[in-house]
Structure 1
Amino acid sequence: MTGPALSTAHSGPDSGEVDLRHHGDAEVRGTDPADLTDLAVNVRAGTPPAWLKDRIAASLDGLAAYPDGRAARRAVAARHGLPVRRVLLTAGAAEAFVLVARALRARRPVVVHPQFTEPEAALRDAGYEVGRVLLAERDGFRLDPAAVPDDADLVVVGNPTNPTSVLHPAGAVAALARPGRTLVVDEAFMDAVPGERESLAGRVGQLPGLVVLRSLTKTWGLAGLRVGYVLADEGTVAALERAQPLWPVSSPALAAAEACCAPAALAEAAAAAEEIAADRAHLLARLAGFPAVAVAGPAAGPFVLVRLPGATAVRAGLRARGFAVRRGDTFPGLGPDWLRLAVRDRATTDRFVAALADVLGDPAR
């Protein structure tokens, strides 16, 4: 395998070459869902389910009281088989990136790209000069632990990675852990992977410096509620907690976190992961009918990354035909020929493929 490139992104308003704060919601903000099918945001369609809405609604009767996160924290700890002291609830995984940047001191932070851009943005906002390890398409955007500099004392990597949808072997990610280094693994999409294979959540407290971030946004459709959590050793959790404001997670979000860790909810999430895998296979099969479209992968998440010439114009053409897709040029290591597509049900995929064929001038495959 040829080595990924290493570059340095300097902090400051004009650094980084790309807009790190552009996210998929910008593609659909202010639009009527009836007019635009959303393939830009990686939240599972048809969520939250009715039973979860009921649990959240029931929590509203307690809004006069300050949030009490103890029950939700115990539920998350039990879900992962960890002591409660190794769990920290956050206002989404995005808050966790800010806490890491503010509370954990580093001399040489490195972010493995292409991946979700908020970790680098948060580190820059905290005043850091951020190194980048750029994984290459020719290598399938696969992680090579040897590409990360030995002196990097804070490393951030996604698994499965947004936007490439690549699932790195747990052994490759674990190889980055070492004394004196904080290893932050963004597992926001891991519950969309059947069996959560390659997760390191169960090794928190065993691997030195391991910090695992999880989100309840994607599988359960809770982007507007903001709920996620950190799994780490007791000292790291304590440091991150000191950097949080008081009562950072609302009572409705805490109710959702507790509910989503119940056995019935975990079974539903597992079934959803299998369904997503089947729907992704259908999407990939349909995309294979377009010679101009190259798919990164193998894909393991609820989205796929594709490269095609003139992607900017294609994105505009798809929008005119009722489909929003995520531009790829705001991810370091990609460029204007990349698009990210959320996995949806087969009927939606077939409608999308017909629109793509129309934009490309190809017959629907």
Structure 2
Amino acid sequence: MRTESAERAKAVPVPPDAGARRRSPELRHDLRHHGDAELRDAGADLVDLAVNVRAGTPPAWLRERIATSLGSLAAYPDGRAARRAVAARHGLPEECVLLTAGAAEAFVLLARALPVAADDAERPVVVHPQFTEPEAALRDAGHEVRRVVLSERDGFRLDPGLVPEGARAVVVGNPTNPTSVLHPAPVLRALARPGRTLVVDEAFVDAVPGERESLAARVTELPGTTVVLRSLTKTWGLAGLRVGYVLSDPVTVARLERHQPLWPVSSPALVAAEACCAPAALAEAERAARQTAADRAYLTGRLAEFGTLRRATPDPRASFVLVRHPDGAVLRERLRAEGIAVRRGDTFPGLDGRWLRMAVRDRATTDRLVRALARLGVR
């Protein structure tokens, strides 16, 4: 039964062609804008609160492993060892793992592999606000997309009743970028059903202590098809290396693999994937997640000193927080003039120019942000 939350959500059909993108007010969001754009052509050394990559990474031991791999560049990449390591890390058979050039490639593979809906009721659903590449990839592959836009009044929390019953594919982030909401695993499992592909983007779940609410170990157990996407970018600082992976059932993995080019992941990226799945690396990631939780608590506590800054959720769980300010767009530019870059929110469907995303950093960086806000007269 649909709850009151369902009445607040919007299910918006999105035409895939560029002309429709220009015409429709529902498509005013720039789905190709990402946090790194806040730092380009800055003309100054900005404090980076716009990109959700852990500061001080990659660690020295990982840089050394990658550097050592450069001696093998004459050989074609061999992903078998990395695939075994990822499978062992999640307790899955190797056939359930597909290595990709970052999670972004996985979205493209999924969009190409999914059959185009036969009627409107079967259109793929993207739950917003969230990372925009899944919708962009679906549209580019010729799909018409239905948006389910979560409400600020509900703290951007997901009610499974919001998703149309006939949707053949559903994409949701957990924890969600940019809202920092961690959806309970039972809520996500409620979306799984025969004939549906449930895609859960877990790019930030390794920033959650214990990786709570992850579906990674259950991808072969739920009804229908479950696909979990992971990235090594955020915790390990490997955005420039492009490495991630897909977890799903063997049939789905094989279908996605057929859409990949030969040797899609470089040898250094494969070495990094294997290294980051080692027990010592997983222990380091867990320590980093706990430190992030402490730093996030400090950040939210300091931001609470400013009554005009409203958090999207009272309980953020990712390595960033989403805040709203009445003049958010102006505040972003003024912070930039103060040497601090934050991520604009108006490129995410469901948000507007009042919203800003801020990466969690150490306490000294947070204090610098707070001093800048005070100088700018934020109350």
Q: With structure 2 as the length reference, what TM-score do the two structures score?
A: 0.94
Q: 1:238 to 1:361 in 2, by over 3 A?
A: closer
CA distance in 1, matches of 2:321, 2:230: 20
Asked if residue 259 in structure 1 is aligned to residue 262 in structure 2, the reply is: no
Post-superposition shift, 1:361? 4.4
1:8 corresponds to which residue?
13
Asked if residue 160 in structure 1 is aligned to residue 175 in structure 2, the reply is: yes
**Cα contact 1:165–1:300 (8 A) shared by 2:** yes
1:20 corresponds to which residue?
31
User: Which structure 1 segments of 5+ residues have no match?
Assistant: none
**Cα contact 2:92–2:217 (8 A) shared by 1:** yes
Post-superposition shift, 1:201? 0.3
Post-superposition shift, 1:221? 0.1
1:228 corresponds to which residue?
244
1:78 corresponds to which residue?
88
- The amino acid of 2:318's aligned partner reads G
CA distance in 1, matches of 2:193, 2:140: 26
Instruction: Look up the SS of the partner of 1:236 in the other structure.
Output: helix
Aligned residues: CA RMSD: 1.0
1:240 corresponds to which residue?
256
Instruction: Look up the SS of the partner of 1:360 in the other structure.
Output: coil
- The amino acid of 1:5's aligned partner reads K
1:187 corresponds to which residue?
202
1:275 corresponds to which residue?
291
2:40 corresponds to which residue?
29
- The amino acid of 2:127's aligned partner reads V
Deviation sequence 1:39-75 (CA, Å, 0-9, x none): 0000000000000000000000000000000000000
Instruction: Look up the SS of the partner of 2:33 in the other structure.
Output: coil
**Cα contact 2:199–2:228 (8 A) shared by 1:** yes
CA distance in 2, matches of 1:329, 1:309: 13
**Cα contact 2:5–2:159 (8 A) shared by 1:** no
For residues 267-346 of structure 1, the aligned pairs below 5 Å read 267-297=283-313, 298-346=315-363
CA distance in 2, matches of 1:99, 1:31: 33
**Cα contact 2:174–2:204 (8 A) shared by 1:** yes
1:112 corresponds to which residue?
127
1:211 corresponds to which residue?
227
Deviation sequence 1:86-120 (CA, Å, 0-9, x none): 00000000000000000122411110000000000
Instruction: Look up the SS of the partner of 1:339 in the other structure.
Output: strand
Post-superposition shift, 1:30? 3.7
Asked if residue 128 in structure 1 is aligned to residue 143 in structure 2, the reply is: yes
**Cα contact 2:116–2:142 (8 A) shared by 1:** no
Instruction: Look up the SS of the partner of 1:292 in the other structure.
Output: coil
Post-superposition shift, 1:31? 3.8
Deviation sequence 1:265-320 (CA, Å, 0-9, x none): 00000000000000000000001010100001120000000001111110000000
Post-superposition shift, 1:35? 1.7
Percent of aligned positions with the same letter in both sequences? 71
CA distance in 2, matches of 1:361, 1:302: 23
Question: Which shows bigger deviation, 328-337 or 351-360?
Answer: 351-360
**Cα contact 1:104–1:239 (8 A) shared by 2:** no
- The amino acid of 1:252's aligned partner reads P
1:350 corresponds to which residue?
367
**Cα contact 1:106–1:153 (8 A) shared by 2:** no
CA distance in 2, matches of 1:171, 1:360: 43
Deviation sequence 1:239-273 (CA, Å, 0-9, x none): 00000000000000000000000000000000000
Deviation sequence 1:140-196 (CA, Å, 0-9, x none): 000000100001001000000000000000000010000100000000000000000
CA distance in 1, matches of 2:124, 2:294: 37
- The amino acid of 1:223's aligned partner reads A
Instruction: Look up the SS of the partner of 1:183 in the other structure.
Output: strand
